[in-house]
Copies of this chain bind each other. A is one copy, B any other.
């Protein structure tokens, strides 16, 4: 195919195509090795890792909602050391570009996890999860405070030269301010959005549907809000953006690219169709060819805004 799908998401991280498996929606990647050639994805963002193992929340952990789903997994995970020992090697020899999503209850924990990954072989980038709505300490607590965001990012920046990608929460008033804070603290890019804090109630039992009461909303339902937030960050902050939220097909991904995202993560859609990756590449390639574009970079941020005086009918021309 004649078009160039490769993108540069900052910090020297170049991807063969802009499609990345979203963290927490692709296990540790190895689970999908039978289904898809991991090397054909732009990258794989693995499930969020703390320093130690975590059991996460009891069931029910997910519930479907209109055009979306809530999850409260609680970041069950094997811890960064076991990940490095057990998962990184198979990911490497399968040729996966591995982005490691890291969490912490304290700034020191974030830094410690990052340090361990910095020493490891085969980590392409670190995605800093300061936006998980499903844990009591850390996570969103950092992501909802500009100061907290700056401090975590700066601390991790201090211990690693790996491309650093803070993942922003949408549960804030002004997401662009957080992108700016992340940049000032040394981030190479930002990824957004994580899930929206939400809840569902079983009206017959009058109990929450999730054991954790609240969970994170993902899926097509949130796409219009996520696209808006990517647009806002693009307008405000000169920093590569990895956009996500409800991408189900190539056209959805194009909304994010046109709004200003350099790459796109896909989470919930992978549950519906684990074979989506080839379809996304084919769809994007077809679009670029149809529109006579040489590569993805031409479409990134190509949104055409109307003349700003289009506000009154008398001049609505």
Closest chain B residue, CB of each to CB of A231: B199
A52-81 interface mask toward B, CB cutoff 8 Å, 1 = contact, 0 = none? 000101100000011110100010000000
A166-208 at interface with B (beta carbon < 8 Å): 171-174, 196-201, 203, 205-208
B220 contacts A66, C-beta separation under 8 Å: yes
Q: Are A220 and B287 in contact, with the CB atoms below 8 A?
A: no
Are the C-beta atoms of A258 and B66 separated by less than 8 Å? no
- Within 129-150 of A, Cβ neighbours of B (below 8 Å) are at 136, 144
CB neighbours of A74 from chain B (8 A): 311
Instruction: Say which residue of B201, B213, B225 sits within 8 Å of A306 (CB atoms).
Output: B213
- Which B residues are in CB contact (< 8 Å) with A68? 66-67, 221, 224
Contact of A251 among B171, B203, B302 (CB under 8 A): B203
**A1 interfacial by beta-carbon distance below 8 Å:** no
Check B227–A201 contact: CB distance below 8 A. Answer: yes
Taking the complex as formed, is A211 at the interface, i.e. its CB lies under 8 A from any CB of chain B? yes
Q: Pick the contact of A200 from B205, B227, B313 — CB < 8 Å?
A: B227
Query: Residues of B contacting A201 with CB < 8 Å?
Result: 227, 254-255, 258-259, 303
A197 cross-chain contacts in B, Cβ below 8 A: 225, 228
Main secondary structure of the interface of A (DSSP, over half): loop
A231 / chain B contacts, CB cutoff of 8 Å: 199
- Contacting residues of chain A (191-249) with chain B, CB-CB under 8 angstroms: 196-201, 203, 205-208, 211-214, 217, 219-225, 227-228, 231, 246
A217–B207 touching, CB < 8 Å: no
Contacts of A206 on B, CB cut-off 8 Å?
258, 299, 302-304
Inter-chain CA distance A207–B220, complex, in Å, is 20
A272: Cβ under 8 A from any B Cβ? no
Inter-subunit contact B246/A228 (CB<8 Å): no
Indicate if A85 sits at the interface (CB-CB under 8 A).
no
Q: How far is the CB of A174 from chain B (nearest CB, A)?
A: 8
A residues engaging B (CB < 8 A)? Answer: 55, 57-58, 65-68, 70, 74, 136, 144, 171-174, 196-201, 203, 205-208, 211-214, 217, 219-225, 227-228, 231, 246, 251, 254-255, 258-259, 287, 299, 302-306, 310-313, 316
- Starting from the known contacts A65-B220, A211-B306, 11 additional A-B residue pairs (CB-CB under 8 Å) come to A55-B312, A65-B224, A66-B67, A66-B223, A68-B221, A74-B311, A197-B228, A200-B255, A201-B258, A203-B254, A208-B303
22 contacts between A and B (CB under 8 A): A57-B311, A58-B313, A65-B223, A66-B223, A67-B67, A67-B68, A67-B221, A144-B173, A172-B173, A197-B228, A198-B228, A199-B227, A199-B231, A201-B227, A201-B259, A203-B251, A203-B287, A206-B304, A207-B303, A217-B224, A220-B221, A221-B221
